[in-house]
Structure 1
């Protein structure tokens, strides 16, 4: 019985000492935001989001209008600054994407991946727009010579990024933008 009482008293003393060490620290930082909150983590830690988007539409190719269908994979990584704002990296890559020429009826293949690094604002939500470059492989129709791939920009990718680096909507549209 006496041994149990001594053990209990020792545990109470250890608990009291542990509380005595943590209470002054907690009281001294009561006005500061705790380091473990979501807001603090968003301003320090990189954010990542990846989506697979179906794409379709018509764009102006080197020699004719091309109706495009396929899939675009978009990955976004934000590296926020401690004071807000930062840099967003947007990686776009095509998957099983082809087009049909409006005049020739020929089949075009589109391949490639593109990376863009853009700053985002510390003041408000920013919409980042990029036009990744891909390779357009023209149809080989004898007796025409083999034509090397042409770089084209048929897609506009839009990404919404908050001031703390939180990634919102990711969209893609096909078409040749007005000059």
Structure 2
């Protein structure tokens, strides 16, 4: 279990151009930096999957940087730590402004709309992959039969259509 009482906000400074990356962690700073380096090395070696691209890689690629503690925090949970990280990202001139560590619901919806608009083919692929994954469950759910209050056996997905039908109305009148 992660102990958020020992949280830290840090920055990685590029000594070649003074770019900074803001981050948060519950680890020691040297451990967190080692994790960034490990992921960067994996990112470079993994040609097929360049999906995980952290903006700190722009600093790490110059191989001339240092990690500096900004603030030690006593947080109760991950959200509190993320909100504090977001505060520093918004307050300081850093290279990871585009990646908010935490978004409110409206920001998240707006981001998703933009992403879908800018990536229609990728979005279609994701939808297709998801559909292929749950297709059997959906088919089973569509076949599920129930008994309506009028006595008819119908599929569960068609209950609202059935209740509007003349047959349902007629059978309900006969039951009264």
TM-score normalised by structure 2 residue count: 0.22
If each structure's strand is expressed as a fraction of its own residues, which one has the higher value?
A: 1
If each structure's helix is expressed as a fraction of its own residues, which one has the higher value?
A: 2
